[in-house]
Structure 1
């Protein structure tokens, strides 16, 4: 059920003293030297960050950030300036600075704003975690600390953190866009170290989303995340070295979708394809994966970390099919790439803050369900690797090559999951790897709500997911036999 959308613009007009007239003047200044398009991005963020280590509160901070970024686009060039002073003088000065990218007469004249309210509300604003007392948030990480330590005597160190923010944005643009949103976000993380006589291991877990504090009760409690972090660390203490070589690999449901995000998702962002630097450039309509593979990017999932009512250019978000039955269907696009490429705008223009220009970014990216039973997928493997969780990874957008480290993985022997392994890395090429997908499970899951995506120095919250998937061939790096 969707929640009636509140009037987010009132905050900027009533609390920050802005007016439509001032915005129109700023856009006029931004386009005074020419330019095809200009926009204003106002942002106000209130945030909390808490950290506990050795059962002591080691960090606690609250902050407020307010500012405006002004962009002018002229052809393929972008001029950008920002200010944390929202007075008319400073805003007009920033607009004139951004205008320096262009030259010549104005190509577009302001003709007023379109007052279209946000058509949906995917997450709560009233009652978001930001409204809760800091003592309530502190109790969450104290509970996580206690639960992790109680899990096993071999847990020797625990760190837990809680971060939340309430982000208010307003976008006013020369094309008439006038849109706003209020976006809550919260995340709880737990990190543990386990030791025995022979080795040391680490475990992490966490979750969250665009949620109220009630989210962290029940199934997604601090105790749940703490036990999960402790479990994975203890598991690694008894793990054997991962084998090396080419073998079948089964990816578990949920967070392993980060491999899809990195190896394929970034390559399907329109700016890389517009510049011809993506391995997927010019391949729309071509077979880029197994016919069993369908990948979507969906910003419309209620309460998910990667979901947003609108992107940072004021466009409604949507569900975009990227790959359908193995065929490349399209790219994730923002206003600039859409105009230059002549392709639909998918509402994918995102930015880290008012300090940054928007660019095409993912929201919640995942592979759709297939028809196979997860247990049948495991049974089909004579000898291979079952990768349940991942740590870090790297990908080269230009050729699709990736390297990922598995933080939880097991051997599959004679169709059964057997011994846990450590030190496993998956090495491959995104477009090539998807061609070896031979079975797709019916158990689609999304991650717990911890994903942060980096691109060109900017970080934004995202979601990933997939069902259980079998790849017939993949190179596994390890030191075992």
Structure 2
């Protein structure tokens, strides 16, 4: 099923008075001083957000923004200008500003535009975004009530709901002509629990490129509230995490964020072009256990990281990154694909019209293996079972990472025993994957909360993995 791009495109033509002739003029100005390539990225965003703290509405906002970013590429250099005034005069001025980077005779455009035909991976909830705030506020208040009702030791609750409808239109000198309408919604909850001796925290949330009905039928406010409260209460009875090198089992779903940070960023083409990634020059080489297969897939319906087209107007795709431990390729945008003479994977993404696109992940996950999760746990004599993660960081050049586990347990003689607190996982991405010895048959994706930062830009992403056993990993903790 495809949605005609003209439906999305018509919005910009009617609301802002654009025309194909004006787009051609802007691209002509952008290439008037030479350059290899130019593109226009138009964006219009309607957004809502509501925050409740201690059962009181603390924030509520609705807003609309619009603008255009104009890029000129000359060799490895990029000229960029943007404007929030979409009049012909300001657009042409921005195009001339971006052109300042180039030198040489004017470059001719490819004759005519070719509209990108793309799938329809998500609904367009026009009615939802126009619905009054009371429906959305009700979701947040239900979170607050459910979390407090879970246990008397839940002492503080903060909950929030946010959604946006982003419309984009892209025209480029290579004939690219694409448009899309992209919904995004998320419900979040944070709680504090106290038993008179200590205070613990729990968080949960989810969403995706979904309509508001998703939170009323599939993943309800009560689901997220109970999960956050459960995690906080669990920590009240936790023992100090052991420290040292040991076997570690990662649970399915959100623990895939470790894969995202430790491996995913290192497989973005720009880091490899600049030779700053630990994976630079390793295509075709064994970089992980033969049990490990990792893909990036922007074509999954309604997932937070999915896109009908990327922010350069290219359809997204499923890209094999690591297959049976062998590095197969990198994630690229148009610039990296051209400079590195490699396939273009449709991973050019940007936070907004104010920023240039760069290679970014969409939904990145490890494929299922053949092992039963219970067999994986049974195989561990003494180790850590990490079910959920909080924050983490990675050094792209070295591949070193540090992650804090928000929910983890001891494994003793093949059985899950006491919950532990303050556990951190410390390792090196390329090294850690070599110690994967068992991969579960239970692949899960996260609930829809991932936001990825790179060079000051944030974009929504998805992560996932099955239950995975690593024979060796360093665990940081204060226990024994």
The TM tier, using the shorter chain, reads over 0.9
Q: What secondary structure does 2:354 align onto?
A: coil
Instruction: Indicate conservation of the 8 Å contact 1:241/1:421, yes or no.
Output: yes
TM-score when normalising by structure 2: 0.99
Match of 1:77 in 2: 77
2 CA distance for matches of 1:115 and 1:288?
Answer: 39
Q: What secondary structure does 1:136 align onto?
A: helix
Q: Does 1:206 align with 2:205?
A: yes
1:86-130 alpha-carbon deviations (Å, 9 max, x no partner): 0111001101110011111124434221134x3210000145642
Match of 2:40 in 1: 40
Instruction: Indicate conservation of the 8 Å contact 2:409/2:416, yes or no.
Output: yes
1 CA distance for matches of 2:15 and 2:128?
Answer: 21
Q: Does 1:31 align with 2:31?
A: yes
1:231-276 alpha-carbon deviations (Å, 9 max, x no partner): 0000011101000000000000000000000000000000000110
Counterparts in 2 of 1:241 and 1:5: CA distance versus 1, 3 Å: farther
Match of 2:412 in 1: 413
Match of 2:68 in 1: 68
Q: What secondary structure does 2:114 align onto?
A: coil
Match of 2:439 in 1: 440
Aligned residue-pair number? 479
Displacement of 1:478 after TM fit? 0.3
2 CA distance for matches of 1:115 and 1:323?
Answer: 32
Question: Which structure 2 residues correspond to residues 130-169 of structure 1 after superposition, within 5 A?
Answer: 130-169=129-168
Moved more, 213-222 or 359-368: 213-222
Question: Which structure 2 residues correspond to residues 49-448 of structure 1 after superposition, within 5 A?
Answer: 49-116=49-116, 118-127=117-126, 129-448=128-447
Instruction: Indicate conservation of the 8 Å contact 1:159/1:190, yes or no.
Output: yes
Q: What secondary structure does 1:366 align onto?
A: strand
2 CA distance for matches of 1:228 and 1:126?
Answer: 27
2 CA distance for matches of 1:78 and 1:112?
Answer: 24
Match of 2:9 in 1: 9
1 CA distance for matches of 2:200 and 2:4?
Answer: 46
1 CA distance for matches of 2:131 and 2:418?
Answer: 44
Instruction: Indicate conservation of the 8 Å contact 1:304/1:463, yes or no.
Output: yes
Displacement of 1:387 after TM fit? 0.1
Instruction: Indicate conservation of the 8 Å contact 2:28/2:108, yes or no.
Output: no
2 CA distance for matches of 1:50 and 1:385?
Answer: 38
Q: What secondary structure does 2:148 align onto?
A: helix
Q: What secondary structure does 1:101 align onto?
A: coil
Instruction: Indicate conservation of the 8 Å contact 2:33/2:107, yes or no.
Output: no
2 CA distance for matches of 1:313 and 1:300?
Answer: 16
1:341-380 alpha-carbon deviations (Å, 9 max, x no partner): 0001000000000000000000000000000000000000
Instruction: Indicate conservation of the 8 Å contact 1:128/1:211, yes or no.
Output: no
2 CA distance for matches of 1:19 and 1:4?
Answer: 20
2 CA distance for matches of 1:115 and 1:334?
Answer: 19
Moved more, 200-209 or 104-113: 104-113
1 CA distance for matches of 2:423 and 2:115?
Answer: 53
2 CA distance for matches of 1:218 and 1:435?
Answer: 41
Moved more, 88-97 or 127-136: 127-136
2 CA distance for matches of 1:169 and 1:441?
Answer: 39
Q: What secondary structure does 2:376 align onto?
A: helix
Displacement of 1:4 after TM fit? 4.2
Moved more, 262-271 or 212-221: 212-221
Displacement of 1:213 after TM fit? 1.0
Match of 2:21 in 1: 21
Moved more, 105-114 or 406-415: 105-114
Moved more, 124-133 or 12-21: 124-133
Instruction: Indicate conservation of the 8 Å contact 1:128/1:212, yes or no.
Output: no
RMSD: 1.0
1 CA distance for matches of 2:371 and 2:265?
Answer: 27
Which segments of 5 or more consecutive residues in structure 1 lack a partner in the other structure? none
